[in-house]
Amino acid sequence: MNAQRFAKPASLLRELDYAVLQQCMHCGLCLPTCPTYDDTKVERNSPRGRIALMRAIADGKLEVSEAFADEMYYCLGCLACETACPAGVDYTQLFETARADAEKSGVLKSPKRDAIRLTILRGLFTRPRLLRFVGRLLWLYRASGAQFVFRALHLNRLLPYRFRELERMTPRAEAKFSHQLIRPVERPAGAIKYKVGLLTGCVQDIVLSQVNRDTAEVLLANGCEVFTPAVQYCCGSLHAHNGEVETARELARKQLDAFDLNTLDAIITNAAGCGSHLKHYDHLLADDPVYAGRAKVWSAKLKDIHEWLCEIDFRKPVSSPGEQTVTYHEACHLCHGQKITKQPREILRAIPGLKLVELTESTWCCGSAGIYNITQPEMAAKLQERKIRHIAATAAPVVATANPGCHLQLESGAQKFSLDASIRHPVSLLAEAYRQEMRA
Amino acid sequence: MPAPAEIFQTLSGIFPSDAILSAPEDLIPYSFDGTAVLQQMPVGVVFARTTEQVAELVKAANAKNFPIVTRGSGTGLSGGSVPSEGCIVLCLSQMNRILEVDTKNLTLTAEAGTVTLAIAEAADKVGLFYPPDPGSMKISTIGGNVAENSGGLRGLKYGVTRDYIMGLEIVLPSGEVIFTGNKCVKDVAGYSLRDLFIGSEGTLGIITKVLIALIPKPAARKTLLATFDRMEDAANTVSAIIEAKIIPCTLEFLDRVTINCVEDYMNMGLPREAAAILLMESDGHPVAVEEEAARMAEICSSFGAREVKVAQTEAEALLLATARRAAFSSLARLAPTTILEDATVPRSELAKMVARIQHVAEKYQLKVGTFGHMGDGNLHPTFLTNEKNTEEMHRVEEAMVEIFDYAIELGGTITGEHGVGLAKKAFLKKAIGDLNLEVMKQIRKSFDPNGVLNPGKIF
């Protein structure tokens, strides 16, 4: 018994239900939808190839190696393969388990990587107040003119290439964060039809807090009483996708503690990447003796904002905020992760004066993919360029998208390729139309 | 067989280092194709970009005595591109350029690694049509299609890959390069070597370039969906349509098990409680299409179809075709292992074959989902099983033997479009007889005396 207890932990893939791996019958229908395979044409960089590697580990034919771990992080996690897969392979579960295995094995361990992961994943994204403090510093960097001076003096040339790219991607933080824009409880002007909780996210909270305000306003305009806890924890998607499953569970519990599920009709998220993960809390906490039950209720009540608005038959705005042409980039974790494709379009089409032009390859990943654009800058840049090229072809001055990662990736891409397009959340466009009504 | 180190040294003289794979993490994903259960690790994988590289590789294989297994996207369903023991996998997926679209002669020339869909789209762009559309056409390569002589959903009216191949560039097992065929509609100069390579499953030569015949795009098409409460009714309907001298472009069939799996995936409102559905498509001149579709609908009704629906839009028609294409992979939802068969019978015998498949499944207590190109008499009974369950796998094998025997008895064949590869190897002799087999062996021997190309496949 003792020997077993102190033995090296077995591979998580070996512990996984083998049927999940067997679900893949390697027909190859996923290949043309995989951005990494499309680029390299090498099987290892495809969903089918990655699953074969995972299965080899489960079969004991391969140990978790550095090459295996690298491959798992080369995957964008865009889940386009899940949409393409007729056999219903649960790739999300497979790749999260594989990445967790990679972390557990320590094959990628290096002091630098450990330090970064410790600071960002465990340090920053588990402490909402600290995160906001860093957000404040980011805001100061730009607002104080330090960024301007830094760039004007070309000090970025002193940085190594990778950091130079990162400096360029430094997101602009908003002057006010969500809790300064949304009161903990806000009531609609008319009758209360629904009570909903609003998740403000972490990146969204700091960089795109106005989207959160817009979401609250749209909910209020549709008879929802909105509960928005002032301090919210990260949903844990970054952790789950990067092999830190335990931290992800811890964050999920904190999330569950923040809302009184029994009194709410729905919990609303406006960030696709968060939503895709938040809906899986029931799986994530399935073995938790205390939280499993509540997690189930949570998953049932968790709604993406577009999904919710269409479900409650949202009020169509009557005033036009002006003629505008908009194209729509589908966040992977909305179209593939949550299979939500019609609703955002329905919302956009409901806005008077808005013309929606379809984007070629609208469901193809933009390269943001969580922190992928930081960990795999080369592939991320290729995907960004491909996306910007398609956007440019639509000639639409506005690109709607519903995920902060995509939002920033498209913004930085537009800047890089001098494309004059503004990036907006569909809900922000809807909120504008409602506001126009008030003015009219 | 030489040591791997020696092989890799030879390879590095032909290919750049980034076109050679040797690490286990790189090779495992090349140890299988689209066929269930079969797996074999290769010694290495190389990616060719030119015919010259392929020729050099084949010469080296002869000199050093190592086998080569050619592969495109690895979607084959008979194990044709599963590595042979000790082999180097030659992957042509990066030789994927369309070299010419000749609108004067209605031909297209492409490298072997070109994806089938890309060819269909290139033809479509200039108002032409490449009819063969195997289920995996979104990713399968034209070289693989030619090597397997792939069929598809339009075989009934338009035939199979062979019917559209005018010429091939081939690297012979000796390493010499020949081009057989040309842009002439007629050509009887000597043996039709081209036809020998089509469907040769990578054993007689390596296809590097393909000259394809295109046809004018049909002006109109109409898609119908008929629902049946009894499987035999669907089978008899198909025989009746053929007997009425109607040759639609598509005449496909899905049984209840398959319908439900596809519906789970597509969520498009297929009739879950139906015993079978027939998917029919008529194409051609608008007036003829209208008439043909109406007559087919009539026959369906008179043979007991509960409902016949017409796709109202192009998108709706496309959805139905997509649903049919997803049939095989969707069946994998029900069981860990899907063993797909390809038995084909004369169309007059369809009802008998369909009934026998049901009978065999019951006899061996196996779960089976059947779909297929009913208009071609080409059925795909698919056993839903688990490779880890050796006892059940044994029953699957016995059931397969019975189905093949019966297909042969009805004047049919063991494989209509997937090829023999490894999966049907044991049944070939029974299907074609000793003398046919002997002639094939002699042909192979004369082309490839050293056995360097895809050894162990077909026979």
Single out the residue of A12, A14, A240, A16 nearest to residue A104, CA to CA: A12
Report chain A residues whose CB lies below 8 A from the CB of B143: none
Half-sphere exposure (CA, 13 Å, Cβ side) for B39? Answer: 12
Q: How far is B257 from chain A (nearest CA, A)?
A: 14
DSSP B398-418: HHHHHHHHHHHHTT-BSBSSS
- Chain B residue with CA closest to A88: the answer is B333
Of B24, B25, B74, the CB nearest to A28: B74
Binned at pLDDT 50, 70 and 90, residue A2 comes out as: very low
Given an 8 Å threshold on Cβ–Cβ distance, is B34 in contact with A52? no
Single out the residue of B205, B124, B126, B195 nearest to residue B164, CA to CA: B195
How far is it, in rounded angstroms, from Cα A212 to Cα A194? Answer: 18
Of A25, A65, A71, the CB nearest to B36: A25
Of A53, A65, A88, the CB nearest to B333: A88
DSSP A308-366: HHHHTTPPPP-S-S--EEEEEPPPHHHHTSS---HHHHHHHHTSTTEEEEPPTTTTS--
For range A338-346, the mean pLDDT: 97
Same domain for B310 and B207: no
Binned at pLDDT 50, 70 and 90, residue A286 comes out as: very high
Q: Which CATH number fits domain A324-439: 2.60.40.1180, 3.10.450.750, 3.40.50.300, 3.40.50.1860?
A: 3.40.50.1860
- DSSP strand E in B238-347: where? 250-255, 276-284, 305-310, 337-340
Given an 8 Å threshold on Cβ–Cβ distance, is A56 in contact with B262? no
Same domain for B137 and B81: no
Report chain A residues whose CB lies below 8 A from the CB of B329: 25, 27, 29, 85-87
- CA geometry: angle A99, A103, A108, nearest 5 deg: 105
Q: How far is the CA of A423 from the CAs of A254, A265, A272, A400, B338, in angstroms?
A: 32, 30, 15, 6, 46
Binned at pLDDT 50, 70 and 90, residue A4 comes out as: very low
How far is it, in rounded angstroms, from Cα B371 to Cα B253? Answer: 5
**B-contacting residues of A 29-88, CB under 8 Å?**
29, 31-32, 41-44, 46, 48-50, 52-53, 56, 61-62, 65, 67-68, 71, 85-88
Q: Are the C-beta atoms of B83 and B40 separated by less than 8 Å?
A: yes
Query: For residue A76, what are its two tokens?
Result: 């964008």
pLDDT value, residue A7 = 43
How far is it, in rounded angstroms, from Cα B130 to Cα B134? Answer: 12
How far is it, in rounded angstroms, from Cα A200 to Cα A295? Answer: 19
pLDDT value, residue A147 = 74
With a pLDDT cut of 70, the percent of chain B lying above it is 100
Same domain for B273 and B241: yes
Say if B458 falls within a structural domain.
no
Sign of CA pseudo-dihedral B236, B238, B241, B244: negative
CATH architecture under which domain A2-105 falls: Orthogonal Bundle (1.10)
Q: How far is A35 from chain B (nearest CA, A)?
A: 14
Same domain for B222 and B210: no
CA A416 to chain centroid, in Å, comes to 22
Over residues B12-59, the pLDDT tens digits come to 999 999 999 999 999 999 999 999 999 999 999 999 999 999 999 999
Single out the residue of A85, A17, A11, A12 nearest to residue A46, CA to CA: A85
Spatial neighbors of A294 by CB under 8 A, at least 6 apart, are A256, A261
Residue A1 has pLDDT above 60, yes or no: no
Same domain for B131 and B167: yes
Say if B457 falls within a structural domain.
no
Query: For residue A232, what are its two tokens?
Result: 């919210």
B23 three-state secondary structure: coil
How far is it, in rounded angstroms, from Cα A14 to Cα A62? Answer: 11
How far is it, in rounded angstroms, from Cα A25 to Cα B328? Answer: 10
Given an 8 Å threshold on Cβ–Cβ distance, is B386 in contact with A53? no
Single out the residue of A180, A259, A234 nearest to residue A212, CA to CA: A180
* R_g of chain B, CA atoms, integer Å: 22
Binned at pLDDT 50, 70 and 90, residue A120 comes out as: confident
Q: Supply the CATH number for residue B378's domain.
A: 3.30.70.2740
Torsion of CA B52, B53, B57, B59, to 10 degrees: 20
Say if B296 falls within a structural domain.
yes
Name residue, tokens 């390697």.
A26
Report chain B residues whose CB lies below 8 A from the CB of A46: 29
Q: Given B268, B295, B330, which residue is the final one in a domain?
A: B330
User: What is the bridge-based pairing of β-strands B276-284 and B337-340?
Assistant: unpaired
pLDDT value, residue B187 = 94
Report chain A residues whose CB lies below 8 A from the CB of B25: 44, 53, 62, 65, 67-68, 71
pLDDT value, residue A86 = 94
Given an 8 Å threshold on Cβ–Cβ distance, is A42 in contact with B21? yes
Q: Supply the CATH number for residue B26's domain.
A: 3.30.43.10
Query: For residue A197, what are its two tokens?
Result: 């909780």
Same domain for B296 and B256: yes
pLDDT value, residue A8 = 46
Over residues A178-215, the pLDDT tens digits come to 889 999 999 999 999 999 999 999 888 888 999 999 99
Same domain for B222 and B200: no
Residue A155 has pLDDT above 70, yes or no: no
Say if B453 falls within a structural domain.
no
How far is it, in rounded angstroms, from Cα A40 to Cα A52? Answer: 17
A107 at B interface, C-beta within 8 A:
no
A28 at B interface, C-beta within 8 A:
yes
Same domain for B222 and B201: no
Binned at pLDDT 50, 70 and 90, residue A10 comes out as: confident
Residue A162 has pLDDT above 60, yes or no: no
Same domain for B301 and B195: no
Q: Are the C-beta atoms of A147 and A171 separated by less than 8 Å?
A: no
Q: Looking at this predicted complex, what is its ipTM? A: 0.95
Q: Supply the CATH number for residue B298's domain.
A: 3.30.70.2190
Of B32, B94, B330, the CB nearest to A86: B330
- Chain A residue with CA closest to B94: the answer is A41
Of B28, B330, B336, the CB nearest to A62: B28
Amino acid at B207: I
How far is it, in rounded angstroms, from Cα B11 to Cα B5? Answer: 10
Binned at pLDDT 50, 70 and 90, residue A137 comes out as: confident
Q: How far is B386 from chain A (nearest CA, A)?
A: 9
- DSSP strand E in B243-356: where? 250-255, 276-284, 305-310, 337-340
For range B221-248, the mean pLDDT: 94
How far is it, in rounded angstroms, from Cα B280 to Cα B417? Answer: 20
Amino acid at A93: Q
Helix/strand/coil percent split, chain A, to 5: 55, 10, 35
How far is it, in rounded angstroms, from Cα B249 to Cα B47? Answer: 37
Given an 8 Å threshold on Cβ–Cβ distance, is A29 in contact with B136? yes
Chain B residues with a Cβ under 8 Å from any Cβ in chain A: 21, 23-26, 28-34, 36, 47, 73-75, 93-94, 96, 115, 117, 136, 138-140, 261-262, 264-265, 326, 328-330, 332-333, 336-338, 386, 388
Cβ neighbours of B102 (radius 10 Å): 14
Q: What are phi and psi of A280, to 5 degrees?
A: -100, 10
Sign of CA pseudo-dihedral B342, B347, B348, B350: positive
Cβ neighbours of B79 (radius 10 Å): 27
Encode B333-355: b = buried (16+ Cβ within 10 Å), e = exposed. Answer: bbbbbbbbbbbbbebebbbebbe
Given an 8 Å threshold on Cβ–Cβ distance, is B29 in contact with A52? yes
Of B28, B75, B265, the CB nearest to A52: B28
Given an 8 Å threshold on Cβ–Cβ distance, is A23 in contact with B26? no
Strand partners, A42: none
Q: Are the C-beta atoms of A371 and A401 separated by less than 8 Å?
A: no
Report chain A residues whose CB lies below 8 A from the CB of B23: 67
CA B95 to chain centroid, in Å, comes to 20
Q: Are the C-beta atoms of B113 and B72 separated by less than 8 Å?
A: yes
Residue A288 has pLDDT above 50, yes or no: yes
The tally of domains found in chain B comes to 4
Q: Which of A167-176, A249-258, B264-273 shows the lowest mean pLDDT across its residues?
A: A167-176
For range B308-327, the mean pLDDT: 91
Most confident listed range (A161-175, B139-153, B318-332):
B139-153
Q: Given B43, B71, B91, which residue is the final one in a domain?
A: B91
Of A25, A65, A86, the CB nearest to B265: A86
Residue A172 has pLDDT above 90, yes or no: no
A188 three-state secondary structure: coil
pLDDT value, residue A269 = 98
B194 three-state secondary structure: helix
For range A265-291, the mean pLDDT: 96
Q: How far is B290 from chain A (nearest CA, A)?
A: 33
Over residues A55-90, the pLDDT tens digits come to 999 999 999 999 999 999 999 999 999 999 999 999
Report chain B residues whose CB lies below 8 A from the CB of A42: 21, 26, 47
Same domain for B265 and B206: no
Q: Given B168, B186, B216, which residue is the final one in a domain?
A: B216
Given an 8 Å threshold on Cβ–Cβ distance, is B34 in contact with A27? yes
Q: Which domain holds residue B404?
A: 335-448
How far is it, in rounded angstroms, from Cα A151 to Cα A154? Answer: 5
Same domain for B172 and B109: yes
Q: Are the C-beta atoms of A99 and A68 separated by less than 8 Å?
A: no
Say if B459 falls within a structural domain.
no
Over residues B357-400, the pLDDT tens digits come to 999 999 999 999 999 999 999 999 999 999 999 999 999 999 99
Residue A127 has pLDDT above 90, yes or no: no
Of B30, B136, B336, the CB nearest to A27: B136
- Chain A residue with CA closest to B113: the answer is A41
Same domain for B370 and B420: yes
With a pLDDT cut of 90, the percent of chain A lying above it is 73
Binned at pLDDT 50, 70 and 90, residue A243 comes out as: confident
Residue A287 has pLDDT above 70, yes or no: yes
- Chain B residue with CA closest to A56: the answer is B28
Q: Are the C-beta atoms of A397 and A372 separated by less than 8 Å?
A: no
* R_g of chain A, CA atoms, integer Å: 22
Alpha helix locations (H) across B36-192?
A: 51-64, 116-125, 142-148, 155-158
- Chain A residue with CA closest to B29: the answer is A49
Report chain A residues whose CB lies below 8 A from the CB of B141: none
Q: How far is the CA of B444 from the CAs of A348, B51, B85, B458, in angstroms?
A: 63, 22, 19, 11
Q: How far is B94 from chain A (nearest CA, A)?
A: 7
Q: How far is A83 from chain B (nearest CA, A)?
A: 9
Q: How far is A367 from chain B (nearest CA, A)?
A: 23
Report chain A residues whose CB lies below 8 A from the CB of B30: 43
Binned at pLDDT 50, 70 and 90, residue A169 comes out as: low
Q: In whole numbers, what is the pLDDT of chain A averaged over residues?
A: 91
Half-sphere exposure (CA, 13 Å, Cβ side) for A149? Answer: 7
Amino acid at B178: I
Q: In whole numbers, what is the pLDDT of chain B averaged over residues?
A: 95
Given an 8 Å threshold on Cβ–Cβ distance, is A32 in contact with B115? yes
Amino acid at A97: T
Residue A128 has pLDDT above 90, yes or no: no
Terminal-to-terminal C-alpha distance of chain A = 75
Strand partners, B279: B225, B252
Binned at pLDDT 50, 70 and 90, residue A167 comes out as: low
Domain with CATH 1.10.1060.10 in chain A: 2-105
Say if B60 falls within a structural domain.
yes
How far is it, in rounded angstroms, from Cα B151 to Cα B373? Answer: 9
Given an 8 Å threshold on Cβ–Cβ distance, is B25 in contact with A71? yes
Burial class (CB in 10 A: 0-12, 13-18, 19+), A292: middle
Say if B456 falls within a structural domain.
no
Report chain A residues whose CB lies below 8 A from the CB of B73: 28, 31
Encode B113-152: b = buried (16+ Cβ within 10 Å), e = exposed. Answer: bbbbbbbbebbeeeebbbbbbbbbbbbbbbbbbbbbbbbb
Given an 8 Å threshold on Cβ–Cβ distance, is B25 in contact with A44? yes
Over residues B171-205, the pLDDT tens digits come to 999 999 999 999 999 999 999 999 999 999 999 99
Count chain A–chain B contacts defined by CB atoms under 8 A: 100
Over residues A17-44, the pLDDT tens digits come to 999 999 999 999 999 999 999 999 999 9
Of A23, A46, A52, the CB nearest to B332: A23
Residue to mutate among A20, A26, A54, A81, with most B CBs inside 10 A, is: A26
Burial class (CB in 10 A: 0-12, 13-18, 19+), A166: middle
Most confident listed range (A110-124, A136-150, B143-157):
B143-157
Q: How far is B82 from chain A (nearest CA, A)?
A: 12
